[in-house]
Amino acid sequence: MRARASVLFVSALCAAVVAALASRAIVARGWEAAPAEAPGPDLADFTAERKGRELALSRLVEEGRWETVEREAQALLDLDPISEVARAALERSREEIDARDRLEKALHLLEEGREEDALLGLLAIPEATEAGTRARVEAGPLRERVARRARADCLGLARAGRHEEALRRCRLHLDLTCGEEADPAVLQRQRWLERKLGLAGDAAWSCPQRSVAIVEAGGADVRAILRAWERGEAGDHAALRLERLAEKGDAEAARHAEAVREAEIRLREAASSLLDGELERAYRALGQAAATEERLLGRRRSLRYLELSERFARLALKRGLELSEKRRFREAREILRLAAELDPSNLDVLRALWRLEDAE
């Protein structure tokens, strides 16, 4: 009996061993039979896909399909987060969609007979957008009608003694027409009302500066690069992007690249001079930078120029006050006049300069 049990135990043990060996063999054959994992995309595949998407995106921009542009630009950024083509297209699409929405609201206001609100809406639409062209066409005759009504209200309300209402209407008329020769009667009434209501200095009316559109000749890609540079992008980077466009045959981009590099050189010189406390040298560099930016941005200035001008004003004001305390009035006036020329709206500089001039 014991012998039979032993035989059964040995048989079971052998069967277990055989089963284990068989399973290992099956697993081994499974590993051998499994196909090799497919390799991921290489750099060439990635580059080809990115270039294909960029080309398709550029065509969508040319066609003005802005919702599709926004969607495809975002998809390209998901693939390549540093794609300049995608970033420029995304910015352009959002500007165009916003401008189109503003135009629709302004035209709706015009249908309701709210001409003044409609005009303000039309004037707020960026001229460089597609909707901006339609806005300028609509705003032309509308501006004339609103200006005529505002003139009549200005003079009539002033005679009726409703001075605050008259002042608002006079200002509206002058705001709309001051790019041309101002109406002497309205301007005279405006100044009289300001005196009557005790308004002077900053509160007095002055012709608002009209924004000047970025140069149109270079096309949408050039405008997008210039807008980014104006808002703070490094000049070397912006110039490089323009040079890449120039290599594709865009002559305007080549000229703009040269001007951007020139402005960058002057801005760096100004920043270095301010760090060294050489205000006269910084003033000359900022003046040269402003002349260059005039060719690119009209009356607008880049963010870096504005920041450096503010820094110049602070340093000039501090030095002017120090020189004044030392009774070196002529030197104080000279440095404050430089700051006032760079930024005529800086009241702290102007007040310090006026005090010195009044003391003469």
pLDDT tens digit sequence for 183-218: 778 888 888 888 888 876 667 787 765 443 443 434
- pLDDT for residue 101: 92
Average pLDDT, the chain: 79
- pLDDT for residue 201: 67
Band (220; pLDDT cuts 50, 70, 90): confident
pLDDT tens track for 143-170: 888 988 999 999 899 888 899 998 999 9
* 204: DSSP letter: S
pLDDT > 60? residue 14:
no
pLDDT > 70? residue 16:
no
Tell me how far the alpha carbon of residue 306 is from its chain's centroid: 14
* Mean predicted confidence (pLDDT) in 136-147: 84
Q: Which amino acid is at 176?
A: L
pLDDT > 50? residue 31:
no
* Mean predicted confidence (pLDDT) in 111-121: 89
- pLDDT for residue 212: 39
pLDDT > 70? residue 241:
yes
pLDDT > 50? residue 7:
no
Residue for token pair 């405006």: 190
Check residue 316 and give left, alpha or beta (phi > 0: left; psi -120 to 50: alpha): alpha
DSSP per-residue codes, 91-135: HHHHHHHHHHHHHHHHHHHHHTT-HHHHHHHHHTS-TTSHHHHHH
Within a 13 Å sphere around the CA of 297, how many CA atoms are in the beta-carbon half? 21
Coil, strand or helix: which one is 209? coil
Task: Give the ranges where 112-234 is alpha helix by DSSP (H).
Answer: 115-123, 130-159, 163-177, 184-196, 219-230
pLDDT > 70? residue 48:
yes
C-alpha distances (whole Å) from 271 to each of 283, 286, 308, 311 are 10, 9, 7, 9
With a pLDDT cut of 70, the percent of the chain lying above it is 82
pLDDT > 70? residue 15:
no
* Mean predicted confidence (pLDDT) in 53-69: 84
Band (24; pLDDT cuts 50, 70, 90): low
* Mean predicted confidence (pLDDT) in 261-283: 91
- pLDDT for residue 105: 92
Separation CA 37–CA 23 (nearest Å): 24
pLDDT > 80? residue 327:
yes
Q: Which of 50-54, 71-75, 111-115, 155-159 is the least confident region? A: 50-54
